[in-house]
Structure 1
């Protein structure tokens, strides 16, 4: 039954944006085979190694054990065929097979254990630099929303990452900015390898990254202090979005109301 549900999601999820005079035509769907997953993994490698300085080996592919259990959302330029955006999605049924979320490698998450059966985890988000001001990011969010609707899921968790190339001062300053968006105590998590915020500057000017902005616009909450990921050289903020707490504007846009 679970396998049938996942195959149905892959068949049903397809969205596109028509060609515009100032931008390319894009579509978003779930990867249907190993070749399409590989395209997403290559894009991830390029973005994470170049922008974050992540240590990902030399084979040009970003992959881990979670990939085989995830659905891979891909945005493609329909004119060139190039994959320009990706997000991977771990459905609760597959998280149960793994016996964990990816986020549990970075956080103690006992307080949101109660949400596990209805929570989708997303991660490894990246968009080609040339497409960050266009429709690619919105298509990814639309794809995730449709995935949740089709699957009947109620919650979403995912990490938003900030580079630590400046020593962590920007990440600490962003954490300070995000205090008004903190989740209530019963939904907070605790980093296993915390960023030492108390030893960092918290007054550095930083514009929240597009992914963080996207989460906040939707109505997501920040679940606590960021975790320090030494492999990716990032500070990772765990975000929680509950469909019943989604901003009215986007709930209507994505068809939840």
Structure 2
């Protein structure tokens, strides 16, 4: 998508951009923070700005020229995904000015009508999905939070939103790429080896990195891996997935554009730790009132 096309799409729907509150259901609220889906082009654009600030300005990602010129992280998947956002309603301005965190959500039935899942470019997920014909998959991606809001409260609201979304759409499995900083897996030998030895998906959930992109995660023998230090060395997002009960695929992938080392997260909803189900609420109402 070019900048011109992106701008035209926003302009074409600008007249309807201020959706009434009735179509802006809040999925969770903690103090001045609330989470819901983006419902206007301006809100999606604001989420793309947040992603640009985190991925490009903070982490050094190199996006296609059109995205770099626009100061937006956007691609073709944005048009078919739902965008979960967290807003700080204490900030001045309209909703787009209040967005402080975002997640990109792609349901299986939507992916299959278009170009598939984003993570399929890095991981051979098709065989795993085919082994579970009765289950509906949800891909989570582009998770980012502005630095001042990287707190437990913001993470809780993001997961409240994910949980409510999964329940609403009767989704069974969450998948997605989670990233370690840097393009050298060897720098994360301790953490990656822990994941390889302790959390690798197996059986019907077996999934591997794409053969042409596969990087070994088995960098240290299991007896040399200190679990406490390994967990301390992991990005907060990866640790969060593990606490929920997630597994990881075999093999990592280096994403040179974003300068990251990616692992595939596999989280069947039925495997989510009961304490988290109880915490967020079996009906997703824990933070929604």
TM-score band, normalised by shorter chain: 0.7 to 0.9
Secondary structure at the aligned position of 1:66 is classed as helix
Find the counterpart in structure 1 of residue 18 from structure 2: none
Supply the distance in 2 between the matched residues of 1:105 and 1:164 (Cα, whole angstroms): 19
2:170 is the alignment partner of 1:152: yes
Q: Post-superposition shift, 1:197?
A: 5.0
Find the counterpart in structure 1 of residue 70 from structure 2: 59
Secondary structure at the aligned position of 1:58 is classed as helix
2:195 is the alignment partner of 1:195: no
Q: 1:52 to 1:169 in 2, by over 3 A?
A: farther
1:218-246 residue CA offsets vs partner (Å, 9 max, x unmatched): 11111221111111111111111111111
Q: Considering only aligned residues, what root-mean-square deviation do their CA atoms show, in Å?
A: 2.4
Find the counterpart in structure 2 of residue 44 from structure 1: 51
Find the counterpart in structure 2 of residue 217 from structure 1: 243
| Contact in 1 for aligned 2:192/2:219 (Cα 8 Å) | no
Q: 1:153 to 1:82 in 2, by over 3 A?
A: same
Supply the distance in 2 between the matched residues of 1:198 and 1:139 (Cα, whole angstroms): 34
1:101-180 map, 5 Å: 101-114=117-130, 115=132, 118-164=136-182, 167-178=184-195, 179-180=197-198
Find the counterpart in structure 1 of residue 26 from structure 2: 14
Secondary structure at the aligned position of 1:135 is classed as helix
Q: Which of 114-123 and 65-74 deviates more?
A: 114-123
Supply the distance in 2 between the matched residues of 1:198 and 1:148 (Cα, whole angstroms): 32
Unmatched 5+ stretches in structure 1 = 1-9, 20-24
Supply the distance in 2 between the matched residues of 1:239 and 1:196 (Cα, whole angstroms): 16
Find the counterpart in structure 2 of residue 31 from structure 1: 38
Q: 1:12 to 1:219 in 2, by over 3 A?
A: farther
| Contact in 2 for aligned 1:195/1:235 (Cα 8 Å) | no
| Contact in 2 for aligned 1:29/1:74 (Cα 8 Å) | yes
1:46-105 residue CA offsets vs partner (Å, 9 max, x unmatched): 101133321022321001111100000000110114211000100122111114111101
Supply the distance in 1 between the matched residues of 2:234 and 2:189 (Cα, whole angstroms): 12
| Structure of larger gyration radius | 2
Secondary structure at the aligned position of 2:70 is classed as coil
Find the counterpart in structure 2 of residue 83 from structure 1: 99
Supply the distance in 2 between the matched residues of 1:12 and 1:45 (Cα, whole angstroms): 25
Supply the distance in 2 between the matched residues of 1:75 and 1:135 (Cα, whole angstroms): 10
TM-score of the aligned structures, taking structure 2 as reference length:
0.76
Q: 1:65 to 1:120 in 2, by over 3 A?
A: same
Q: Which of 175-184 and 204-213 deviates more?
A: 204-213
| Contact in 1 for aligned 2:24/2:37 (Cα 8 Å) | no
Supply the distance in 2 between the matched residues of 1:103 and 1:109 (Cα, whole angstroms): 8
Supply the distance in 2 between the matched residues of 1:181 and 1:12 (Cα, whole angstroms): 37
